[in-house]
Amino acid sequence: MKRKTALFIIAFVTWVFLNWVPDTQHLIIGALASLLVVFITADLFTERQYTVKHHLRYWYFFTWYLPVFLWECFKANIDVAYRVLHPRLPIRPGIVKVKTKLKTDTALTFLANSITLTPGTLTVDINKDEGILYVHWIDVKAKDIESATKIVVERFERILTKIFE
């Protein structure tokens, strides 16, 4: 029940922000639509409600994860622009394996998304049971698991462990 209420509030607030200047008709339609959404997708929503209440996690998220992520993202774009504009196309691609200690679904999703948007790497597949990610790397610097893990994953793993575990 708690889960359904939370999802309803989130959907309704999103609807109100999308309308921006709501009147009665919009509010009624929005309530009906968010009820529909709740009844269809409530089972897919978060499974561990108790972690939502820790305030410190949000602070970590906004003050630590976001700046690091945006900076890496910007660096990635400069890197790709250099590689694309260079006449000889300096790439050395390959798919490597990396290991991670994160367990929960949310943390793994965020880790995979961060890897995809940072310099030269793209997540291809996740093996959740053993904690292995397959990463396509545009400029392979290390082929074995340990050193590749050190370069690719560790930047984000420490931060995400603090936030999501």
Partner 1 sequence: MSDIIGLVFISIGLFFDVIGCLGLVRLPDVYNRLQASTKCVTLGTCSILFGTFLVVGFTAAGFKALMCMAFLILTSPVAAHAIARGAHRAGVKLCKDSVVDEYAKDKEGEA
Partner 2 sequence: MDKINEAREIKKARWFLGALSLAALLALIIIRPLPFLCFPGLPYSGFLGRAIYIFILACVLSLYRIARGPTGADRIVAIDILGIMIVGLCAVLTISTQRSWYMDIAIAWALQSFISTLALSKYLEGRSFDE
Phi-psi region of 57 (alpha: psi -120 to 50; beta: other; left: phi over 0): alpha
Q: How many Cβ atoms are within 10 Å of 54's Cβ, its own excluded?
A: 11
Min. distance of Cβ 93 from partner 1 in angstroms? Answer: 5
Decide: 100 and 118 in contact? Cβ < 8 Å. Answer: no
**Binding of partner 2 by 55 (CB under 8 A):** no
Q: Which residues, in sequence order, are CB contacts of 108 under 8 Å at separation 6+? A: 100, 102, 126, 128
Measured from the CB atom, the residue of 5 and 19 that comes closer to partner 2 is 19
- Residue 50: both structure tokens together: 């108790």
Q: Which is nearer to partner 2, 125 or 154 (CB)?
A: 125
Is 26 an interacting residue with respect to partner 1 (CB under 8 A)? no
Backbone angles phi, psi at 143, to 5 degrees: -95, -30
* 120 DSSP assignment: T
CB-nearer residue toward partner 1: 100 or 123:
123
Stretch that binds partner 1, among 29-37, 40-48, 122-130, 155-163 (CB under 8 A): 122-130
Binding status of residue 21 toward partner 1 by CB under 8 A: yes
3-class SS shares of the chain: helix, strand, coil, % to 5: 65, 15, 20
Task: Indicate whether 21 belongs to the interface with partner 2 (CB under 8 A).
Answer: no
Given partner 2, partner 1, none, residue 91, with its beta carbon under 5 to 8 Å by kind, binds partner 1
Site residues (CB under 8 A) for partner 1? Answer: 14, 17-21, 73-74, 76-77, 80-81, 83-85, 89, 91-97, 109, 112-113, 116-117, 120-125, 134, 136, 138, 140, 143
